[in-house]
Structure 1
Amino acid sequence: MQLLKQENPNIIDRIEQFEGSIFLNVGKQIQRISLKSIQYVKGYGDYMKVQCEGKSHTVHITMKNLEGILPSSDFYRVHKSYLIRLDQIEKITSSHVEINETFIPISRNNKQELLSLIPWVK
């Protein structure tokens, strides 16, 4: 059972209605997760590890569906298996992003676009 579906055109309105939260299937429960608490998402096939501040949740959803639900202004897919929340980036190296002492790979194709999304001085 998926509470929020990508094809629902009012998903952004619903996220705003619930004060920046989404509801996801976590085990046998439907859990409310604040978007601001999400640091990154790591994909494992049809399961995602949603890493939040202080804990993680394993969610049965595809990366494509989750990417369609999360606001693109706040989240970016840096690698085929990773979505990150842009304001959680601490460092960017030639091949990784660091978020809370976790190194997340950046694909070569996505690095330039990522750099264009963040405020940085050349």
Structure 2
Amino acid sequence: MPLSPLTCVVVDDNEINRLTLEHLIALTPDLELAASLSGGVEALNYFRQGGQADILFLDIEMPLLSGLDLPRLLPTPAPAIIMVTTHRDFAVDAFALQALDYLVKPVTLERFGQALARVREQRLAAQPQPTHSIPATPAPEPDTNLFVKVGTRMLRINFSEVLYIEALSTYSVLVTKAQKHIVYLTLKALQERLPFAHFVRVHRSYIVNTALIEAVQDNMLKLGSHEIPVGKSYQEEFFRNLRGL
């Protein structure tokens, strides 16, 4: 059964930016514009007075009530929030507010469509799933072991225990809680050979095991007793996918 159209509210104190988003919404068949508002206060009043929306396209830098403050005041259930701003530096704050995506102006139709795809995926996942009388066969546990060349021997490494991988000149260092292994591959070559999707490049010198990230603060990832920086060129993509880790 097809899902009903998604209703949208645009909030931006710049009229040109509002018109741009309105145009992108009009070009997308399954979107409907519910309201286009010029500030955070107007948006708060809209929702407190019973206004509804599936998606809130929200500018960050606005007078009186910013896009970072508004989400904390919205009544529940709140819409899916997509931040729209001219600055990349707000990414960490945006995703701390559970924003579903983060668009940097000027917004292209392609990037706009990618953000909507995330909303649709979340909406589809929230739909009740049919029950089955015959229980499904559980999927086999994935093999997390891999042989890599360490020194003069091939060593079997359990990558579920690897916290992160660090570049060391033309070599790489696999770091676990207990020990380190020097591998005779560059970080780029090792990244291309890793079959595990949860190992993600977050810096020109680091690949991290996202399954073992304990906390994120100020663009730093805490893995056990280690702290790994997220490089500036990697921040937007990493934090956009943070909720799916």
TM-score of the superposed pair, with normalisation by structure 2: 0.40
- 1:54 is the counterpart of 2:178: yes
- Following the alignment from structure 2 to structure 1, what is the Cα–Cα distance between the partners of residues 219 and 144? 31
- Following the alignment from structure 1 to structure 2, what is the Cα–Cα distance between the partners of residues 90 and 32? 26
- The aligned amino acid for 1:59 is V
The secondary structure found in structure 1 opposite 2:240 is helix
Q: Which residue of 1 is the match for residue 147 of structure 2? A: 23
Q: Which residue of 2 is the match for residue 98 of structure 1? A: 222
Superposed displacement of residue 93, structure 1: 1.7
**How much is the aligned-residue C-alpha RMSD, in angstroms?**
1.7
Superposed displacement of residue 63, structure 1: 0.8
Residues 26 and 60 in structure 1, CA contact (< 8 A), matched pair in contact too: yes
Residues 41 and 50 in structure 1, CA contact (< 8 A), matched pair in contact too: yes
Gapped regions of structure 1 (runs ≥ 5): 1-17
For these two proteins, the number of residue pairs brought into alignment is 103
Residues 86 and 118 in structure 1, CA contact (< 8 A), matched pair in contact too: no
Q: Which residue of 2 is the match for residue 13 of structure 1? A: none
Residue of 152, 168, 184 corresponding to 1:44? 168
Q: Which residue of 1 is the match for residue 198 of structure 2? A: 74
Superposed displacement of residue 115, structure 1: 1.6
Structure 1's consecutive aligned runs of 4 or more residues displaced over 3 angstroms after TM superposition are none
Relative contact order (C-alpha < 8 Å, sep 6+): which is higher? 1
Gapped regions of structure 2 (runs ≥ 5): 1-141
Superposed displacement of residue 72, structure 1: 5.4
Instruction: Select the structure of larger CA radius of gyration.
Output: 2
TM-score of the superposed pair, with normalisation by structure 1: 0.76
- Following the alignment from structure 1 to structure 2, what is the Cα–Cα distance between the partners of residues 39 and 96? 14
Superposed displacement of residue 79, structure 1: 0.4
Higher strand fraction (1 or 2): 1
